[in-house]
A = this chain, B = another copy of it.
Amino acid sequence: MTQSIKTSVDAVVFGYDPEEGVSVLLITRKYEPFRKSWALPGGLVKNDESLEQAVNRELKEEAGIDVNYLEQLYTFGKPDRDPRNRVISVAYYGLVRPKDYQLSADTDAEDVAWFSIKKLPKLAFDHKHIVDVAIKRLQGKLAYEPVGFELLEKKFPFSDLEKLYQSLLSHELDRRNFKKKIMNYGFLEELEESIQRGAGRPARLYQFNKKKYFELKENGYNFDLFI
């Protein structure tokens, strides 16, 4: 019997903002099934494009954005995950700063918006499950890679980094050990500058040393950022 399985891609684009915490980019579907439901941006792969090209095209078409760096998350292939016919979905994920993007719904999507991962609407298909898997992956990644340095300002008070980590973790961050561990690795530099935010004492600024970080990585270092 001829195979009748279609291939799609879906994108889990996480946004981090110090005020809003972590959010995920969603669109509303224009067509059945799940018409008007919130869903992840995504769609069928064209015959001549790579999976990466497909996910970038869909993000452009449905949300009006270009996301440079997406990583493959997982391929979801349960036979009944789409009510129309069998579709496997190769899901991608990434982490960006929402304020760097101007959203605009286009073909196939009626609306597009960021939703806090703590207040997600009901999602189409198995997209809630896909988002959950992506959150777990991101949390796992936090432990062995300083994810998200790109999400902070070039120079930042240490509390901004703590806040980023805390907003992604499901448990309380052990702040003291976190700082000790991260400073020990030597890829984060304490600067001679401070910043005054609101009342209270000025906060010392820090800066990520990318060169040092990649040196450590190349030497096979595995970071373990928590206790």
Contact = CB atoms under 8 A, between A and B. Distances in A.
B78 A75 contact: no
Interface stretch (A23-31, A191-199, A217-225): A217-225
Q: How many copies does the complex hold?
A: 2
B78 A144 contact: no
A123 interface: no
Band of interface residues on A: 20 to 34
Interface string A168-188: 000100000000000000000
A96 interface: no
B6 A3 contact: yes
A162 B45 CA distance: 45
Nearest to A2: B47
A7 interface: yes
Contacts of A6: 3, 5
A114 interface: no
A77 interface: yes
B226 A45 contact: no
Contact of A90 (B1, B78, B88): B88
Contact of A222 (B46, B74, B75, B224): B224
The 7 closest A-B pairs by CB, nearest first: A224-B224, A51-B77, A143-B222, A75-B75, A5-B7, A75-B90, A222-B224
